[in-house]
Amino acid sequence: MSGIVVGTDGSTGARAAVLEAAKLAQALEQRIVVVSAYGQSAMAAMSPDAMVHAGDGRESAEEALRLAESDLEPTGVEFDVRAVAGAPADAIVDVAKLEQADTIVVGSRGMRGPRRLLGSVPNAVSHRAPCSVLIVRTD
């Protein structure tokens, strides 16, 4: 199945990336798979406003997916959501491979400043993706 994979942590920037993925999906008549990662490595990559619950982060990932669903439902785009254990970049790339996605969409958070030197989700995804990557400017 080809289509679009978009990552979200529920932050404002990630939600903007989800909406950008919806525009692309409408234009290309494709389906979206929204991915939210959880676990210790996922929690470390989350923005502070995305950390809704403690624990392993599964509840935060599920909340991020509920937000994505509420953003996508009015668009009429076909979509699926997945909470995936692991680091965010790994989860997004793994789902893209599984789905044989044409495109991955991620927000740009972490692409500038000191975090960029340490690596970021968009940077990691762009280097390991099995397909094209759209990095939406969100910060």
CATH number of the domain where residue 128 is located = 3.40.50.620
Tens of pLDDT along 117-139? 444 899 999 999 999 999 999 87
Residues spanned by the domain of 130: 4-136
Using the structure block, give the residue that is written with the tokens 């690596």. 119
Task: List, for residues 60-80, the tens digit of each pLDDT value.
Answer: 999 999 999 999 999 999 999
What is the percent of the chain where pLDDT is above 70?
Answer: 81
Q: Is the pLDDT of residue 98 over 90?
A: yes
Question: Across residues 40-47, what is the average pLDDT?
Answer: 55
Average pLDDT of the chain is 86
Nearest alpha carbon to residue 89 among 99, 75, 104 = 104
Q: Give the chain's domain count.
A: 1
SS3 35: strand
58-72 helix and 12-28 helix, angle to the nearest 10 degrees: 50
116 pLDDT above the threshold of 50: no
- Confidence class of residue 115 from pLDDT cuts 50, 70 and 90? very low
